[in-house]
Amino acid sequence: DAKTTQPNSMESNEEEPVHLPCNHSTISGTDYIHWYRQLPSQGPEYVIHGLTSNVNNRMASLAIAEDRKSSTLILHRATLRDAAVYYCILRDSSNTGKLIFGQGTTLQVKP
Amino acid sequence: ETGVTQSPTHLIKTRGQQVTLRCSSQSGHNTVSWYQQALGQGPQFIFQYYREEENGRGNFPPRFSGLQFPNYSSELNVNALELDDSALYLCASSPGAGIRGTGELFFGEGSRLTVL
Protein backbone atom coordinates (compact mmCIF):
# COMPACT_ATOMS: atom_id res chain seq x y z
CA ASP A 1 0.00 0.00 0.00
CA ALA A 2 1.30 3.41 -0.97
CA LYS A 3 2.11 5.69 1.95
CA THR A 4 1.48 9.33 2.67
CA THR A 5 3.49 11.74 4.80
CA GLN A 6 1.90 14.63 6.64
CA PRO A 7 3.09 17.07 9.30
CA ASN A 8 2.03 15.99 12.78
CA SER A 9 0.39 19.30 13.63
CA MET A 10 -0.44 22.73 12.28
CA GLU A 11 -1.93 25.89 13.70
CA SER A 12 -4.16 28.44 12.08
CA ASN A 13 -6.03 31.56 13.05
CA GLU A 14 -9.76 31.68 12.69
CA GLU A 15 -11.05 32.99 9.34
CA GLU A 16 -7.65 32.59 7.68
CA PRO A 17 -6.88 30.07 4.91
CA VAL A 18 -5.16 26.83 5.85
CA HIS A 19 -2.99 24.74 3.56
CA LEU A 20 -2.49 21.15 4.72
CA PRO A 21 0.28 19.40 2.78
CA CYS A 22 0.62 15.71 1.97
CA ASN A 23 3.47 13.87 0.26
CA HIS A 24 2.80 10.63 -1.59
CA SER A 25 5.87 10.01 -3.72
CA THR A 26 5.05 6.33 -4.34
CA ILE A 27 1.55 6.98 -5.68
CA SER A 28 0.51 4.73 -8.54
CA GLY A 29 -1.38 5.82 -11.62
CA THR A 30 -4.67 4.40 -10.39
CA ASP A 31 -4.54 5.73 -6.83
CA TYR A 32 -7.06 8.36 -5.85
CA ILE A 33 -6.12 10.96 -3.24
CA HIS A 34 -8.71 11.15 -0.48
CA TRP A 35 -8.94 13.42 2.53
CA TYR A 36 -10.91 12.64 5.65
CA ARG A 37 -11.05 14.50 8.91
CA GLN A 38 -11.89 13.36 12.39
CA LEU A 39 -13.37 15.79 14.87
CA PRO A 40 -12.95 15.04 18.57
CA SER A 41 -15.10 12.13 19.73
CA GLN A 42 -16.44 11.46 16.26
CA GLY A 43 -15.79 9.04 13.42
CA PRO A 44 -13.86 10.18 10.36
CA GLU A 45 -15.70 12.34 7.87
CA TYR A 46 -15.08 12.51 4.12
CA VAL A 47 -13.75 15.86 2.94
CA ILE A 48 -12.72 15.59 -0.70
CA HIS A 49 -10.96 13.40 -3.22
CA GLY A 50 -9.23 13.72 -6.58
CA LEU A 51 -7.19 11.89 -9.17
CA THR A 52 -5.26 14.37 -11.30
CA SER A 53 -7.10 17.68 -11.51
CA ASN A 54 -7.71 20.17 -8.74
CA VAL A 55 -11.09 19.76 -7.06
CA ASN A 56 -13.42 22.06 -5.18
CA ASN A 57 -16.43 21.31 -3.02
CA ARG A 58 -18.37 23.08 -0.31
CA MET A 59 -15.92 22.03 2.39
CA ALA A 60 -12.51 22.50 0.81
CA SER A 61 -10.28 22.53 -2.25
CA LEU A 62 -7.73 19.94 -3.23
CA ALA A 63 -4.67 20.99 -5.18
CA ILE A 64 -2.75 18.12 -6.79
CA ALA A 65 0.79 18.53 -8.05
CA GLU A 66 1.38 17.88 -11.72
CA ASP A 67 3.50 14.79 -10.96
CA ARG A 68 0.89 13.68 -8.36
CA LYS A 69 3.59 13.13 -5.76
CA SER A 70 2.08 15.68 -3.43
CA SER A 71 -1.20 17.40 -2.75
CA THR A 72 -2.57 20.18 -0.56
CA LEU A 73 -5.91 20.42 1.17
CA ILE A 74 -7.07 24.01 1.34
CA LEU A 75 -9.60 25.29 3.85
CA HIS A 76 -10.42 28.74 2.59
CA ARG A 77 -11.54 30.25 5.90
CA ALA A 78 -10.81 28.17 8.97
CA THR A 79 -13.39 28.13 11.71
CA LEU A 80 -13.12 26.73 15.22
CA ARG A 81 -15.20 23.78 14.04
CA ASP A 82 -12.45 22.85 11.59
CA ALA A 83 -10.15 21.84 14.44
CA ALA A 84 -9.64 18.13 13.77
CA VAL A 85 -7.18 15.48 12.64
CA TYR A 86 -6.89 15.54 8.85
CA TYR A 87 -5.92 12.34 7.05
CA CYS A 88 -4.53 12.18 3.55
CA ILE A 89 -5.18 8.71 2.11
CA LEU A 90 -4.33 6.97 -1.14
CA ARG A 91 -7.14 4.74 -2.19
CA ASP A 92 -6.63 2.16 -4.90
CA SER A 93 -9.35 1.10 -7.24
CA SER A 94 -9.41 -2.55 -6.15
CA ASN A 95 -11.28 -2.36 -2.85
CA THR A 96 -13.78 0.27 -1.86
CA GLY A 97 -13.89 -0.21 1.90
CA LYS A 98 -10.22 -0.26 2.75
CA LEU A 99 -8.58 3.01 3.67
CA ILE A 100 -5.00 3.13 4.95
CA PHE A 101 -4.91 5.88 7.57
CA GLY A 102 -1.61 7.38 8.68
CA GLN A 103 -1.09 9.57 11.72
CA GLY A 104 -2.71 12.57 10.09
CA THR A 105 -2.24 16.27 10.81
CA THR A 106 -3.81 17.72 13.94
CA LEU A 107 -5.09 21.16 13.06
CA GLN A 108 -5.54 23.70 15.83
CA VAL A 109 -7.58 26.81 15.05
CA LYS A 110 -7.05 29.80 17.30
CA PRO A 111 -9.74 32.43 17.77
CA GLU B 1 -31.89 9.45 5.57
CA THR B 2 -30.33 8.00 8.72
CA GLY B 3 -26.59 7.80 9.09
CA VAL B 4 -24.41 4.99 10.35
CA THR B 5 -25.27 4.02 13.91
CA GLN B 6 -23.24 1.86 16.24
CA SER B 7 -23.98 0.20 19.55
CA PRO B 8 -23.05 0.13 22.29
CA THR B 9 -21.21 3.44 22.52
CA HIS B 10 -19.07 2.35 25.45
CA LEU B 11 -18.41 -0.98 27.10
CA ILE B 12 -15.98 -2.57 29.51
CA LYS B 13 -14.90 -6.20 29.34
CA THR B 14 -12.29 -8.31 31.06
CA ARG B 15 -9.46 -10.17 29.41
CA GLY B 16 -10.55 -13.48 27.88
CA GLN B 17 -14.18 -12.46 27.40
CA GLN B 18 -15.98 -12.08 24.09
CA VAL B 19 -17.65 -8.97 22.70
CA THR B 20 -20.14 -8.22 19.93
CA LEU B 21 -20.41 -4.75 18.43
CA ARG B 22 -23.23 -3.75 16.12
CA CYS B 23 -23.58 -1.41 13.19
CA SER B 24 -26.52 -0.22 11.14
CA SER B 25 -25.37 1.06 7.79
CA GLN B 26 -26.69 4.09 6.02
CA SER B 27 -29.83 3.52 3.99
CA GLY B 28 -29.07 1.99 0.59
CA HIS B 29 -25.48 1.04 1.45
CA ASN B 30 -24.59 -2.62 0.93
CA THR B 31 -20.91 -2.49 1.91
CA VAL B 32 -19.71 -2.29 5.49
CA SER B 33 -16.16 -2.06 6.75
CA TRP B 34 -14.80 -2.13 10.29
CA TYR B 35 -11.84 -0.27 11.72
CA GLN B 36 -9.94 -0.32 15.01
CA GLN B 37 -8.55 2.96 16.32
CA ALA B 38 -6.15 2.84 19.24
CA LEU B 39 -5.71 5.98 21.29
CA GLY B 40 -3.67 8.58 19.39
CA GLN B 41 -3.48 6.50 16.22
CA GLY B 42 -5.28 6.52 12.89
CA PRO B 43 -7.94 3.87 12.25
CA GLN B 44 -6.77 0.45 11.04
CA PHE B 45 -8.83 -1.59 8.60
CA ILE B 46 -10.12 -4.87 10.04
CA PHE B 47 -12.35 -6.22 7.27
CA GLN B 48 -15.11 -5.45 4.81
CA TYR B 49 -18.41 -7.13 4.06
CA TYR B 50 -20.27 -6.90 0.78
CA ARG B 51 -23.62 -8.62 0.34
CA GLU B 52 -23.13 -10.74 3.46
CA GLU B 53 -19.67 -12.01 2.54
CA GLU B 54 -16.25 -10.93 3.76
CA ASN B 55 -14.32 -9.58 0.78
CA GLY B 56 -11.26 -7.94 2.24
CA ARG B 57 -9.33 -8.28 5.48
CA GLY B 58 -6.57 -6.38 7.20
CA ASN B 59 -3.83 -7.71 9.44
CA PHE B 60 -6.04 -8.97 12.27
CA PRO B 61 -6.14 -12.48 13.78
CA PRO B 62 -9.08 -14.86 13.25
CA ARG B 63 -10.52 -14.08 16.68
CA PHE B 64 -11.80 -10.93 14.97
CA SER B 65 -14.81 -12.04 12.96
CA GLY B 66 -17.90 -10.47 11.51
CA LEU B 67 -21.29 -10.91 10.00
CA GLN B 68 -23.43 -8.94 7.63
CA PHE B 69 -27.18 -9.47 7.56
CA PRO B 70 -29.66 -9.28 4.68
CA ASN B 71 -30.61 -5.75 5.73
CA TYR B 72 -26.87 -4.88 5.46
CA SER B 73 -26.43 -4.28 9.17
CA SER B 74 -23.29 -5.83 10.58
CA GLU B 75 -21.63 -7.24 13.67
CA LEU B 76 -18.03 -7.37 14.76
CA ASN B 77 -17.15 -10.17 17.16
CA VAL B 78 -13.92 -10.37 19.09
CA ASN B 79 -13.11 -13.52 21.05
CA ALA B 80 -10.55 -14.06 23.80
CA LEU B 81 -10.16 -10.34 24.46
CA GLU B 82 -6.68 -9.01 25.15
CA LEU B 83 -5.69 -5.76 26.83
CA ASP B 84 -4.45 -4.41 23.48
CA ASP B 85 -7.95 -4.77 22.04
CA SER B 86 -8.92 -1.67 24.00
CA ALA B 87 -9.77 0.83 21.27
CA LEU B 88 -12.47 2.70 19.42
CA TYR B 89 -14.15 0.42 16.89
CA LEU B 90 -15.54 2.22 13.87
CA CYS B 91 -17.99 1.01 11.31
CA ALA B 92 -18.24 2.59 7.87
CA SER B 93 -20.72 2.01 5.09
CA SER B 94 -20.58 2.80 1.40
CA PRO B 95 -22.97 2.46 -1.52
CA GLY B 96 -21.36 -0.56 -3.14
CA ALA B 97 -18.28 -2.51 -4.03
CA GLY B 98 -18.83 -1.53 -7.63
CA ILE B 99 -17.64 1.99 -6.94
CA ARG B 100 -13.91 1.67 -7.23
CA GLY B 101 -11.62 4.15 -5.65
CA THR B 102 -13.93 7.12 -5.64
CA GLY B 103 -16.88 6.56 -3.32
CA GLU B 104 -16.85 8.09 0.12
CA LEU B 105 -17.20 6.06 3.28
CA PHE B 106 -19.67 7.13 5.93
CA PHE B 107 -18.45 6.42 9.44
CA GLY B 108 -20.36 5.94 12.65
CA GLU B 109 -19.21 7.49 15.91
CA GLY B 110 -17.76 4.24 17.13
CA SER B 111 -17.93 1.88 20.05
CA ARG B 112 -15.28 2.41 22.69
CA LEU B 113 -14.12 -0.87 24.17
CA THR B 114 -12.05 -1.05 27.33
CA VAL B 115 -10.50 -4.39 28.26
CA LEU B 116 -9.38 -4.76 31.88
Tell me the pLDDT tens digit for each residue of B7-36. 999 999 999 999 999 999 988 888 899 999
SS3 B84: helix
Specify the pLDDT at position B75. 97
Rounded CA-CA distance A2/A111 in Å is 36
Using CA atoms, how far apart are residues A22 and A71, in angstroms rounded to an integer?
A: 5
pLDDT digits (tens, 9 = 90+) for B35-93: 999 999 999 999 999 889 998 899 999 999 999 999 889 999 999 999 999 999 999 99
CB contact under 8 Å between A46 and B104, yes or no, is: yes
Contact yes or no for B73/B24 (Cβ under 8 A): yes
Query: In the A/B pair of chains, how many CB contacts fall below 8 A?
Result: 75
Distance to chain B for A91, nearest Cα, Å? 6
What tens digit of pLDDT does each residue of A5-64 get?
999 999 999 999 999 999 999 998 888 999 999 999 899 999 999 999 999 999 999 999
Instruction: Supply the pLDDT for residue A42.
Output: 93
